[in-house]
Amino acid sequence: MVANQNHRPSIVLVGGFLGAGKTSLILAAARILEQRGLRCAVILNDQGEELVDTSLAAAQRIFSREVTGGCFCCRFSALLEVIDEVCAARQLDVIFAEPVGSCTDLSATVLGPLREESHRYCVAPFTVLVDPARAAELSNLAGDSDMAFLFRKQLQEADLICNTKADLYPEKSWMHDVKCRRLCAKTGEGVSEWLDEVLFGSLEAGKTTLDIDYARYAQAEAALAWLNLSFVLSPATPVPPATAVGPLLDDFDRALTTAAIQIVHLKIFDSSPTGWLKAAICANGQEPTVEGALDASPAARHEVLINLRAKGDPAQVQTLVENQLRRLEAQVSYVRLDCFSPAAPKPERRIAKNSF
């Protein structure tokens, strides 16, 4: 149970498509709030287990927990249990919750049920993040129809839409008819202002709920292969994390591209005794975003996590990844691999307010 029933932490749900920058924004926001003297926690969510984002939060000393094995809507009771767990551990002011990047209908299936717990929590407006490059791709009539369906539905239920990666895309907005904030977790642009709006502004939380075809929703999610992989990499000669991660990401990218498998999001996290490093791409051949100890010293042991979301058959993706592991010129041990397509979403609770 919540330690102090008179204290209601704010729950800030941050959605958006795969690779939109949800975790980066949340971690940047948590650091800002802690500098203001507020106590925060982050709850991460995934269909599988062993998350790069959880390792990233831990590396940055941000208090975090997970809900795995399904999206927040399908594991809503687990979400409530984790919220109670983090509130029991410390008196919190803000709890950030990051849903799976392929999920939608969250206003009805997560915000709606949370509003029924208003005696315990304050529910902030629902922010949906948009990567301008992804938006341009999915707004194209020739773009992938499954991914475009999920992307479009996410936008329709947002209380607030924010363009991310403002350092890479300085244009004001890719949607001229929709008011959007511009954010950059890397530089901090707009993050404090966004926090003030969702925590202290006048926006209504969950004002719009979708009229959504769940069969179409299930079809769109099932088009994705979901791969989570962990292993220990022991090179013959010690190497720094950057030298371990760079070629690994390049090799996976090249193999997936050769097999005509579309990368939707690929993240690699390397934890070594000398430092950590995360690298990620949101498309085949893309220049990776990298953060962490780029100047770390060589290490003989690297604990590697890979989260891959790709448009393709899970069996084919798994075989390709296993082949890549066998080609590594290093000892690979403690391998744990899970690859699947998401099951059809079946929300535990759905409370519609207004239909879109």
pLDDT, tens only, 243-299: 999 999 999 999 999 999 999 999 999 999 999 999 999 999 999 999 999 999 999
Q: What is the mean pLDDT of the chain?
A: 92
CATH of 10-220, one of 3.40.50.300, 3.40.50.10800, 3.40.50.40, 3.20.20.70: 3.40.50.300
Q: Which helix (H) or strand (E) holds 41?
A: strand 40-45
105 vs 137, more confident? 105
State the alpha helices, DSSP H only, in the chain: 22-35, 52-59, 76-89, 106, 112-115, 132-139, 145-156, 191-200, 214-222, 241-258, 314-327
- What is the total residue count of the chain? 356
Which of the four pLDDT bands, split at 50, 70 and 90, describes residue 355?
very low
Whole-prediction pTM? 0.93
* Selection from 163, 179, 161, 159 nearest residue 171 by Cα: 163
- What sign does the dihedral 140-141-144-145 (CA atoms) show? positive
Give the pLDDT score at 82: 97
Cβ neighbours, 10 Å, residue 6:
5
Share of the chain above pLDDT 90, in %: 85
Residue ranges per structural domain of the chain: 10-220, 224-340
Which of the four pLDDT bands, split at 50, 70 and 90, describes residue 356?
very low
pLDDT at 1 over 50: no
276 vs 138, more confident? 276
46 vs 356, more confident? 46
Indicate the CATH number for domain 224-340: 3.30.70
Q: What is the mean pLDDT of residues 319-343?
A: 94
Q: Cα separations (Å) of 10 from 41, 120, 315, 333? A: 11, 9, 41, 42
